[in-house]
Amino acid sequence: MSAKLSLTMGFEAADLPRIQSAIGEFSQEQDWPPDIEFQVDLVLEELVLNVVHHGSSDGEEGEIKIELFSDAESVVIDIIDSGRPFDPLTDAPEPDTESTIEDRAVGGLGIHLVRTMMDEVTYRREENKNHMRLVKRRNE
């Protein structure tokens, strides 16, 4: 059975627990395995907080729309935000995974986790909005 969940939040980190709670309920209804629920929660937190912290300039208000589609084969997550243009797939620095935490430059590790945990990650800029699509296959 397929299902869809649509959520909207502002550029406020305080909105994130409400979003995570709704997604947790959705994952239970859709019988996601625990590892997929964990991975979806982690990558959403990473990407949404990046938008909250870096998506606006001078404190301007913005909107983040999160849509999840779930069926027996996959979970598809669309994150659409009105923040400044930023393609984390090409604009984020490559993480230094060899150095110690103290010696690493800041940045890039979050998108590295996203790429590692998801099966597909795409970005496009359309109608003055950032669109990220994440796909996690359930049969792997």
How high is the pLDDT of residue 140? 57
How high is the pLDDT of residue 102? 60
How high is the pLDDT of residue 92? 62
Q: Could you tell me the domains of the chain?
A: 3-137 (3.30.565.10)
Q: 139: left (phi > 0), else alpha (psi -120 to 50), else beta?
A: alpha
Q: Is the dihedral of CA 22, 58, 89, 109 positive or negative?
A: negative
How high is the pLDDT of residue 29? 97
Query: What are the mean pLDDT values of the chain's consecutive 10-residue runs (140 residues total)?
Result: 95 94 97 96 94 78 95 97 89 61 57 92 96 91
How high is the pLDDT of residue 59? 65
